[in-house]
Amino acid sequence: MKVGFVGAGKVGCSLGMLFATTQHNLVGFYSRTSTSAKDAADFTKSKHFQNLETLIKESDTVFITVPDDAIGKVWDSIKHMSIAGKMICHCSGSLSSKIFRDIEETGAFGFSVHPLLAVSDRYSSYKELPKALFTIEGNEGHIGEIKSLLEKSGLKTVSIDVSVKTRYHGAAVMCSNLVVALVQATQDELRKCGFYDAQLGDAIAPLLLGNVNKVLSVGTKDALTGPIERNDVGTVEKHLAVFSDIDREIYRILSIKTLEVAKEKHPESDYSQLELLLNNQED
């Protein structure tokens, strides 16, 4: 299966490099800026195309790895070309294959193929791709071919229903970008306690990394410690009294979620006082 890329950015370069090195099936790149396509082609030892139609003609499978907002526009250009029998994929987490409007009329098959990974670098992130789970949805008759294409390059895949793509992407955001926000809130509060920027890494690394490793090895219930689990109402009340604005709201809302885990872990405990405290503190 010969693979071509429209969009020579981080995901395009990374997936392209992986296909090139593992299956030698990479045709090359077309991109908005010709130098981007050329750089990606040089990197992957493939071709760069100045004409979109030529790339499409030479590829059996086309990955549209442009920003989400541009996927529909690229599709609008491609759908009038001769694409019957070709696989058309994009890599957006939030959009589904439905973005390829009227694809049935073209004879092509549409898919969304999303890596659960932050792809941060055009030239080195390809090494990280095999760690990620790729979620795939799209044409049911041909989804097996896309799975097989990825799996032959050592990638892990799972099918996802088209109806849950937005929820799925929101969930992924919670454990990646929103963790960044939680770390930011922690750092902001620690600065108010007198910590210097240089000390913040040492202060939070064992907590953050220890927690992530524990959650991944034993699950949320067994990993949980702290005042919520201990039903320490007085401590939580004092925390709420010193925090303000958004950090207070983050603490309160996440404590309500933490309480769900604590209740499941200790069904014998009466957490009603803590529950009342957390729910009665809305701004």
Q: Which span sits near ligand NAP by CB under 6 A: 60-68, 209-217, 224-232, 260-268? A: 60-68
d(Cα 256, Cα 250) in Å, to the nearest integer? 10
Counting contacts by CB under 6 A, is residue 11 touching ligand NAP?
yes
For 100, phi and psi rounded to 5 degrees? -85, 75
The C-alpha R_g of the chain, in whole angstroms, comes to 24
Instruction: Mark residues 101-130: x for contact with ligand NAP by CB under 6 A, - for none.
Output: -------------xx--xx-----------
Nearer to ligand NAP, 118 or 241 (CB): 118
Residues 48, 52, 53, 55, Cα dihedral to 10°: 30
The least distance separating ligand NAP from the CB of residue 141, rounded to whole angstroms, comes to: 24
Which of 3, 4, 9, 27 contacts ligand NAP by CB under 6 A? Answer: 9
Interhelix angle 233-242/245-265, rounded to 10 degrees, is 160
- Which residue, 157 or 255, is less far from ligand NAP as judged by CB? 157
Minimum separation from the CB atom of position 74 to ligand NAP (A): 5
**Which among 129, 22, 157 is positioned nearest to 65, based on CA atoms?**
129
Q: Where are the beta strands (DSSP E) in the chain?
A: 3-6, 26-30, 47-48, 61-64, 87-90, 109-115, 133-138, 156-159
**Minimal CB distance residue for ligand NAP:** 9
Regarding 33 and contact with ligand NAP (CB under 6 A), the answer is yes
How many chain residues bind ligand NAP (CB under 6 A)? Answer: 26
Q: Give the footprint of ligand NAP on this chain (CB under 6 A).
A: 6-12, 31-33, 36, 65-68, 70, 73-74, 90-93, 114-115, 118-119
